[in-house]
A = this chain, B = another copy of it.
Amino acid sequence: MAVKHPYHHGALREALLSQAFQDLETEGLEGLSLRRLAESTGVSKTAPYRHFADKRDLLVTIAAEGFRLLAEKLEAAPSAPQPPAPGGDALQGITALCRAYVEFARERPVLYKLMISRLGYELHSEACRLNSERAFGCLVRAVQTAQAAGWRRDKDGMALVLSLWASIHGWAGLLIDGLLPSGNGVEGDEWLKLALVLID
């Protein structure tokens, strides 16, 4: 580490971001330090300030990228067939989405928590807002499809979306922080069966 680069790094911003992306999960949010980031990118401790206003600016940029990754993952989740399959499950799309969402949170717990923490401001940045709305849109569509297929047709759509989001977010949190009495859906997808007891 601390490999020597020429005076002008050339792509320092990107190098710092990708290094930070790694460090985040290995060191935790508190363990992430601008100085160490600079050193392991082979640059002086103050160089990062040419590319980020401050540490928060770096974190917000990372959060935005996180929302982009989440949106892409949710968009790639297999959605329910538009005309409900004969005997098909109305919750198919929602189930797939829940699985993808929680998988993301468990794969990158520190990033997920960073994204969700308000970081002191409204919704961090334009990029965060845009990408988080993209992800939110997946939830909205999944609920619409499920309702069209007969799931809780009488309930308000947005109320269902928000309740579902709260539920998934809650499961993500409990799983990430290891709060579940062990042996209760802690491994893999078992939590989904438990979650569906309320959602179904």
Contacts and interface: CB of A to CB of B under 8 A. Distances in A.
Given A116-B179, A122-B178, A158-B184, A195 B173 contact: no
Interface residues of A, number: 36
Given A156-B197, A158-B184, A197-B156, A169 B163 contact: no
A116 B173 CA distance: 9
A170 B177 contact: no
Nearest to A162: B194
Greatest chain B CB density within 10 A among A164, A173, A179, A195 is at A179
Interface in A154-169: 155-156, 158-160, 162-169
Contact of A163 (B178, B179, B197): B197
A199 interface: yes
Given A167-B198, A173-B173, 4 more contacts: A116-B179, A117-B177, A167-B170, A198-B198
